[in-house]
Structure 1
């Protein structure tokens, strides 16, 4: 007996049987579990109290009505016990669809194909791709990897870069004609923000970001100097003399 096929066949029959209500379904599933625990023997002996508890049925009349209905509708054979010390007997009906010889041969053919490409026969180390860190799909022996399969990862490594250390930044700023203090301010600012931009995105090219920083530094410095020059006067005034 195949547990999955039996249960799927039962659910398929539930779907098209409008006579069933939730009590019928839960009682059948409770009986199915007892049948499964008994390794699908021909008949099982059941206890009404245990079945009612498992099926969440609180009324004896509901229980008897449902089990009689399941018997009449072909889900099981019910043999009630007349003894208080002996449980009733249930013979579960096999609802599994019987496959034809052609269907069985086709299923065997599919299983054979699946077995040829099963990952069970492939070493674990060959399924693991160190570049991506994920399990790779097993391929045939004649399979050749695509030439550009790792091009995107290489480009991503080049784009998604951050400075190696503070000295790398200081040397860059020095080459652009700025003082090391300015480079230190740049490095400390983005190091504190975990190298993220103002909108929370990860910095992907710190040199381009440094160019913008340097450009703004010169621009703001120009504004500062022009403002200072506008306040200067050529005539010296002596405020100690009376007006």
Structure 2
């Protein structure tokens, strides 16, 4: 299998999949590297702790949510393991690639990202290096510099700054396995602040902000559940019966 072709195909799919957030992509890249280390085996076993460290995901709930999402969206097949001494099994899905020449379909953005994850970062002889030449368009010109469409870029930035109504926020939270009530809290919180950060700057991408909100909410809910269980246990230990028989000898 061709490492670069598989990675380029993955990033091309990431670009058009609005369901993904940075945690999904970080987790996929960590699993992709494990797949590469196993010489692209049909399936391989992973340790949750190692994958969380490699993907920089600090919450167990975020890890399980992301790997379940990637499974349901056909990026991979996840076989969880209940055995603490045996890791979960992963089967990576083969994203469609093509053996056709890259002429006319070259995407320098994807190649630049793939270059960062290539083991050793050895130079690829004879291939275009995007760092040495500035090309922003999705098609590489035969000669000269590509023209940049600032109109499309501006529209995309405006679309990502603020959501198109509260329903868009509700749908985004539901798609990420959160309730619409949590989405309502997020929308009302930033709506009253005119979609600005605490230092008065405009929000660049509300989806990224919502993702961070959900991750913090997951950690908070998990800690709250743990504290409630501990408090309940303390109350059970302190609870005494009100009916006592003082007539019995000691």
TM-score tier after normalising by the smaller chain length:
0.3 to 0.5
Question: Normalising to structure 2: TM-score of the pair?
Answer: 0.40
Question: Normalising to structure 1: TM-score of the pair?
Answer: 0.41
Who wins on radius of gyration, i.e. which is larger? 1
Tell me which of the two structures has the higher relative contact order, counting C-alpha pairs closer than 8 angstroms and 6 or more residues apart.
Answer: 2
